[in-house]
Structure 1
Amino acid sequence: MENFNRLNDLYFKKLLGDKKRKNLTLSFLNGILNKDDENCFTDITFLDKDNEPLTLDGKLSKLDIRADLNDGTQVDIEVQVCPFKLMAERSLYYWSKMYSEQLEKGAEYKKLKKAIAINLLAFDYLEDEQDWHNIYNLLNVKSHNKLTDHIEIHFLELPKFTLKDMRKIRASEAWIAYFSGKYSKEELEEIAMTTPAIKEAVEFEDTFLQDKIERRAYEQREKAIRDYYSYMNAFKEEGITLGMKKANINTAINLLKLGVDVDTIVKGTGLSIQDVEALKIKIK
């Protein structure tokens, strides 16, 4: 299927949020978190948890995969396809909930485990950063020493990603290449030679698209996202139009106060003769 959106929440959830394919999720996480064979995560438990109401923004553009890893590390994977200016605040909020919910009332702080938030973004967000993968911790502003390793927030910006050498590809790059949609099936097959999980992902994708029910649900969600974009663009354009008309009205009022004739004001502001005449009566 041409232009298949692998960040579609229904598809992404089935690919990386299903315990039947937790090996793919572990491959993704170990790659993004730069784990080697000696310290890699070996198991994952998914938590079916929704921290947000089903708002238009939440339902169309956000996916939450919440899980515990075998060493107790908490992880939250967020996918955001629509540009959102407050991603940092949003991610920190969900990280804080994930971290605080580890303790029951009266439990000791030493039981707290590391919590990692991973944000997979289909848009440019960090204007001052050139790299596609940026990691944030809690540091001393002077010495840059880390206060604790319990907080770790990742931003993965797909538009910034470019694969430099397919022969020396890392697991993290292989997964981002897959989700970016920039590479053909043939190129993904070449990538799969070094990252077998990608081959399994491509095979699952084919199966997903051959299922009429799954494909129909996918297409409906894509349509909903397109409708959302159309609505927001129309709302923005309407706001610009109203803003321009308001500015022209203010200009017309000032010109009328200076004694400029109606015809000149109409030509200069684009307002109708009726509008300007009405303003003339109003300011008398």
Structure 2
Amino acid sequence: MTEQLLKPFVDFVFKKIFGSEENKDEVLLNFLNEALRETEPKPFVSLTILNPNIDKNAVDDKQSILDVRAKTEDGKQVNLEIQVTNKHDMAKRSLYYSAKMYEEQLEEGKPYTTLQKVISINILTYNYIPNDRFHNIFHMREDHTGELLIDDIEIHFMELSKLGIKAHEMDSRLVNWLMFINGTNQDQWEELAMDTPGLKKAMTTLEFLSQDKEARMLYEARKRALLDEQSALDYVESRGEAKGKAEVAANMLQEGLPVSLIAKVTGLSETEVEALKNRIH
């Protein structure tokens, strides 16, 4: 029986496909040249993977970032990662890692002119940027004229959840890549890969990974870690919402408003509002 395919958007699988030495020249290079078509009109020729290995201890660590970091032939650095849990801090986090990559380039005694461009690409499985574009690109620009101050920091957000908001041409190679990453049905693979260099190799890698017992075991461990992380985030968020409702209800009770109205406005049950009323009084 054929094993069910692993999901490419789980970061462990994503890094295996895009961050391995054997795939860098065909899979990663082709993907980056499509992803950066608007901002890097001259395609990259070669890449050096800066973090090709996966620490197996990191698979069980909810805080681990299994990213893909590469350097181009002209010294530019690219950080590529996928996120399935919304921690509500991706903008700050991406800016922090971009700045860190930028700062780490400068060796003691070297001039600032030696600093090379840093590109961060964040692929998200959830909505984050408040528009209907699946691919948003950010730079440092002047507020009024839109003039670019410097091109050295570039941050991309690609939101898989927005791929279905509007129709996309199937010959858009970036869309083909993202549909594959999003776990599109295997019966669509041939059409997606037809005119998208490197994508067939990525698909073959996924098929082999899905048949590998150790890879599947690590994949399941990583899924559990990510699920635990999401559960913790959901718990904190629900506690925050509950606390917020209680505070609103308490203020309304102090204003002398009826329990039924407070329950209707806050979404709490009348029993919960009555219990809060008894605690206050």
TM bin, normalised by shorter chain, reads 0.7 to 0.9
Which residue number in structure 2 is paired with residue 159 of structure 1?
Answer: 161
| CA displacement 1:225-281 (0-9 Å, x = unmatched) | 2232233333433444455456556666665xxxxxxxxxx97764359x83x755x
Q: TM-score, normalised by structure 1?
A: 0.79
| CA displacement 1:26-59 (0-9 Å, x = unmatched) | 0110110117998311211111299xxx796532
Change (3 A) 1:272 1:85: closer
Which residue number in structure 2 is paired with residue 258 of structure 1?
Answer: none
Hey, what's the Cα distance between the residues in 1 that align with 2:118 and 2:146? Answer: 20
Map 1:17-56; keep pairs closer than 5 Å.
17-22=19-24, 23-34=26-37, 39-48=42-51
Hey, what's the Cα distance between the residues in 2 that align with 1:224 and 1:109? Answer: 40
Change (3 A) 1:42 1:95: same
Which has more radius of gyration?
1
Structure 1: state its 5+ residue gaps. Answer: 256-265
What SS does structure 2 have at the residue aligned with 1:221? helix
Q: TM-score, normalised by structure 2?
A: 0.80
Which residue number in structure 1 is paired with residue 180 of structure 2?
Answer: 178
Q: Look up the equivalent residue of 2:46 and give its one-letter code.
A: D
Which residue number in structure 1 is paired with residue 63 of structure 2?
Answer: 58
Which residue number in structure 1 is paired with residue 203 of structure 2?
Answer: 202
Hey, what's the Cα distance between the residues in 1 that align with 2:181 and 2:14? Answer: 9
2:99 paired with 1:96: yes
Q: 4+ runs of 1 displaced by more than 3 Å?
A: 1-4, 35-38, 54-57, 234-255, 266-273
Change (3 A) 1:144 1:254: closer
- How far the C-alpha of 1:154 sits from its partner, in A, is 1.0
- How far the C-alpha of 1:76 sits from its partner, in A, is 1.0
Q: Look up the equivalent residue of 1:69 and give its one-letter code.
A: T
**Could you tell me the percent identity over the aligned residues?**
33
Which residue number in structure 2 is paired with residue 232 of structure 1?
Answer: 233
> Is the Cα–Cα contact under 8 Å of residues 34 and 172 in structure 1 kept in the other structure?
no
2:213 paired with 1:212: yes
Which residue number in structure 1 is paired with residue 146 of structure 2?
Answer: 144
2:39 paired with 1:67: no
Change (3 A) 1:253 1:48: same
Q: How many residues align?
A: 259
Hey, what's the Cα distance between the residues in 2 that align with 1:279 and 1:170? Answer: 60
Q: Look up the equivalent residue of 1:12 and give its one-letter code.
A: F
Which residue number in structure 2 is paired with residue 133 of structure 1?
Answer: 135
Hey, what's the Cα distance between the residues in 2 that align with 1:28 and 1:203? Answer: 15
2:224 paired with 1:223: yes
- How far the C-alpha of 1:113 sits from its partner, in A, is 1.3
Hey, what's the Cα distance between the residues in 2 that align with 1:254 and 1:134? Answer: 46
- How far the C-alpha of 1:9 sits from its partner, in A, is 1.6
Hey, what's the Cα distance between the residues in 2 that align with 1:267 and 1:77? Answer: 49
Hey, what's the Cα distance between the residues in 1 that align with 2:120 and 2:40? Answer: 22
What SS does structure 1 have at the residue aligned with 2:78? strand
Structure 2: state its 5+ residue gaps. Answer: 257-268
Hey, what's the Cα distance between the residues in 2 that align with 1:171 and 1:221? Answer: 29
| CA displacement 1:203-233 (0-9 Å, x = unmatched) | 1111101111110110121122223223333
Which residue number in structure 1 is paired with residue 190 of structure 2?
Answer: 189
